[in-house]
Amino acid sequence: MAEIRPFRGVHYNKQLVPDISSVICPPYDIITPDMAQELHHRSDYGFIKLEHGQQLPSDTDEDNKYTRSAATLRNWLEEGVLKTDVLPALYLHQHCFSHNGSRYRRRGIIAAVRLEEWDRMVIRPHENTRVKPKSDRLNLLWALQANTSPVFALFEDCGRQIASLAADQERAQPIIDITGSGEEHRIWAVTDPGIISRIASCLSDRPLYIADGHHRYESALNYRKERLTCSPSASRDEDFNFVMIELVDFIDPGLIILSPHRLVRGLSKIALGELKSKLATLFQIDELPLRTPDISRQIDDLLADDTTDRVRIVLFGLSPENLLLLNTDDFAAAGKMMPCFHSELYNRLDVSIVDHVILEKMIGMTGEQEETALDFNHDKTDVINRVLNHEYQLAFFLGPVKADVIRAIADAGDRMPRKSTYFYPKPPSGLVFRRLE
């Protein structure tokens, strides 16, 4: 089903940029304005100058963040700051990191994967997307003619065949080996045609599930359509028919999925005053005294109880001294407040119930209001502080979605609400990327 191919990766020249950890950056979608400013000033060779250029008041059609990124890429290639591998390769990525006091290792395979329309069910999405990020990535793709950061996708490694092949390759010397900010990254270039063929064969009879990077994938689809409009007789082997994806096994021990919790502000006193009675029409509400200063652990304990077939949501901010634990198993009533075209599994997700039932129906939040009144954050401590500091009025804490639920939603041809999952940590941009040659 899925077709993967090697590509000639582009990466930093260690002779000119010896500390690669200082120039890589997060993918564009989690770079805050403050982070962007710091990254742009950290190094003259920071990858953010390609991935997420600065927008200036003086920008024109001829001089803007996309044209400047393109000029930077040309200059770095000419100066040898970036170099292109001679042989096409699949790139093994070993990502080591810490989470909640434990150390993890995640293995990914970075490859060029043939673009497929969603209805073919070869590449399967699990989340909805927004228009603005897709427009940004499409503009960058036209300007750079490159995939700067990989889509992140999951696959099923039947019989652990790919894991075994990858482990053999990792005995060699990596082409990139860096440590920084508590994380380690090692990259191996697999150029042996026999090994590449075996890995591709293992993946050829199964679908791939997009975990993160839906906007990047859909932008690549749109870019292909536009290129085919310009060149309708182009070959199926043209580079624009493929996109760079990092593939990770569903059961990889380093696959960590966090919840983007919901932060809400801009509610009137009347709306806040009526919310508890509205919640009581669907939820059993338990008021629990705050266990300060360890509110975060208390929330974890409340959400960890998944032994029953009930939705459990923790609400913080409505009662100053208490956490509210919201429980419901009345999925029939909740389903009546959901969009009619979704699957039964979708209607039973806590994130669906928060977004559709609580935010849309009970609070009355519209799509237009979401831009200023709603935020998403996987860091519970930061969420708690934002409510305590009165930056936001309410926080809804959700339990993490399991990988098998993501697969089931995608297999059903459905999509979760946007910002339903946060795969931690994100693969950085700038380790290796793919030019459309």
Specify the pLDDT at position 293.
Answer: 77
Site of tokens 């427009």: 135
d(CA 253, CA 242): 28
Tokens of 114: 């043939």
Q: Pairing mode, if any, of strands 90-99 and 183-190? A: antiparallel
Class of the 260-399 domain? alpha beta
- Which residues touch 342 (CB under 8 Å, ≥6 apart)? 352, 414
Amino acid at 80: G
Amino acid at 427: P
**pLDDT of the chain, 437 residues: tens digit per residue:** 899 999 999 999 999 999 999 999 999 989 999 999 999 999 999 999 999 999 999 999 999 999 999 999 999 999 999 999 999 999 999 999 999 999 999 999 999 999 999 999 999 999 987 777 889 999 999 999 999 999 999 999 988 999 999 999 999 999 999 998 899 999 999 999 999 999 999 999 899 999 999 999 999 999 999 999 999 899 999 999 999 999 999 999 999 999 999 999 999 999 999 999 999 999 999 999 988 778 888 998 888 865 557 899 999 999 878 999 999 999 999 999 999 889 999 999 999 999 999 999 999 998 888 889 999 999 999 999 999 999 999 999 999 999 999 999 999 999 999 999 999 999 999 999 999 98
Angstrom CA distances, 341 to 188, 336, 345, 366, 404, stand at: 44, 11, 12, 19, 22
Specify the pLDDT at position 308.
Answer: 59
Determine whether 103 is exposed, middle or buried from the number of CB atoms within 10 Å of its CB (0-12, 13-18, 19+): exposed
Q: Determine contact, residues 265/391, Cβ cutoff 8 Å.
A: yes
Q: Pairing mode, if any, of strands 261-264 and 146-147? A: unpaired
Specify the pLDDT at position 179.
Answer: 94
**DSSP per-residue codes, 4-44:** EE-B--EEE-TTT---GGGT-B--GGG--HHHHHHHHHH-T
Site of tokens 């003619």: 145
d(CA 231, CA 16): 38
Q: Determine contact, residues 223/240, Cβ cutoff 8 Å.
A: yes
Tokens of 436: 């459309």
**Selection from 153, 302, 159 nearest residue 216 by Cα:** 153
Domain ranges of the chain: 4-256+425-435, 260-399
Angle at 434 between CA 431 and CA 437, to 5 degrees: 150
Instruction: Give bridge partners of residue 155 from the DSSP assignment.
Output: 249
Specify the pLDDT at position 132.
Answer: 77
